[in-house]
Structures are given as structure tokens and as C-alpha cells.
Amino acid sequence: MKKLILLSITVLMFQYSFTQVVEVEKDLLKVNKDSIDGWKFGGITNINITQTALKNWAAGGENSMAVSGLENIFANYKKKKFKLGKHTRFRIRYLKTR
């Protein structure tokens, strides 16, 4: 009899604690609107490495190595009739000759 009462109390306590977790999960699953609603971000990155090696070249020329990079990023905002667009392009090049 004591085992049956202990089992009943354990099952009730487990069920009660399980229902508390479910109620908390409902609050956690609510979708909150983010403050960046309407914004769209993106960009493209490009890196190029070039090497020119001339060996036994009678016509002349120089060995060279070049590194160049391009960064193109944007941020657009659109909400109802209001639109705002920002674009930035950044290029860098480095050339080394011998």
C-alpha cells in the first residue's frame, strides 16, 4: 500500500512538473518582431591572385605578382512607401615586380 501511494505521488509530481515546462515553452515559442524589420543586408567579396613568370623569354618582360580584392556591400530599407538604399564599393590592389 505504501508503495502504491508513493508511486501515485511520484506520478502526480512528474505530471505537474511536466505541465510547467510546457507552459514555459509556449512563452518561449512566441515570435518577437526584430528591430531590423524592413532591412536587407548583403554583399559580394572577390579576391584575385595573379602571377606572371617569364623564364628564358627573349622579347623581354618582368616577373610579377599581384593581389587584388573587391568588396561590394549594401543595406536596403523598405517599409510601405519609404525606401532607402546604401551601397559601398571598396577595391584594393597590390603589385610587386622583379
**Domain range summary for the chain, segments of one domain joined by +:** 1-31, 33-98
pLDDT at 67: 94
Given pLDDT bands bounded at 50, 70 and 90, which one contains residue 47? very high
3-state SS, residue 43: strand
- 98, 63 contact by CB (below 8 A): yes
Q: What is the pLDDT of residue 48?
A: 92
Global pTM?
0.48
Residue 44 CA to its chain's centroid (Å):
13
- Please provide residue 16's backbone torsions phi and psi, each rounded to the nearest 5 degrees: -65, -45
